[in-house]
Structure 1
Amino acid sequence: MQKITPFLWFDNQAEEAMNFYVSIFKNSKVLSVNRYGDAGPGPKGSVMTASFELDGQVFTALNGGPVYRFSPAISFVVHCETQAEVDEYWEKLSEGGKENQCAWLDDKFGVSWQIVPNVLIELLSDPDPIKSGRVMQAMLQMKKIDIEKLKQAYEQR
């Protein structure tokens, strides 16, 4: 069992969100669903918690009511190797949600994600501040990251 598990508080969409995420990420599965009983506080038979695994990372979702909302202050970073992978995750996770700047999006449940190609980290970490600065400026103009445009900015003369 992993030591730390992200715990996501939903109003009443925990099962829907779990199924949505499991459908997007490879090597993912539903682990368990626990339902409210006679003691409540949710309606008897409705989902209380749902545990699921996304590519090896376990999450728990709770239907806790409308008390709390998600914030971009906490997000999940999806590391990608290729533009095709960036495009796939971006398209699926942003459907019904909101595209934000610099690789960030909010999915249809309000959960924040960052879809980040590994090359972005490499280029931003270049010891040449001129090159890494051009990459930063290029990234600041993007919502979904375009790897080719980042590389062009990096190699600019």
Structure 2
Amino acid sequence: MSPRHQAPVSPPAGPHMLPATAHSYLERSATSLRDAIAARDVPTRYACAHVAALCAAAALLAARARPAPRGRRQKNAWVLLAEVAPELSEWASFFAAGAAKRAAAEAGSTRAVSEREADDLVRDADRFLAIVEQALGLVPHVSVA
């Protein structure tokens, strides 16, 4: 199940202060979400929805994260998200848990996820994108899912 309870997310100084990469990731997230909605097959729907959430996380990281000192161990986006935006740690854990299913879906497995799981993930990714947009000081998109 997706995280239902979210702590308030504090926005930055303003959307005009966001780096171009954050805006680019948000657009990629929206595109992946549209692709998920349009996908006719379940694995593609699930994979595109998961990528949409990953791109939304990348947008927030582009806006808030600072480079780690050299020599530190690399972390995946979900671990970094939980560190940079602790208020989104439930979402990070939720999407991290679906990474293996996304990989299986991308590899073409038709048994990796059910139609219900794919549809639920589309809605969750849509909700997560809106939360990230709000956290970045933007007006959240109109829900497409």
- Normalised by the length of structure 2, the TM-score is 0.28
Please tell me whether Structure 1 or Structure 2 has the larger radius of gyration of its CA atoms.
Answer: 1
Higher relative contact order (CA 8 A, sep 6+): 2
User: Higher strand proportion, which one?
Assistant: 1
User: Higher helix proportion, which one?
Assistant: 2
- Normalised by the length of structure 1, the TM-score is 0.26
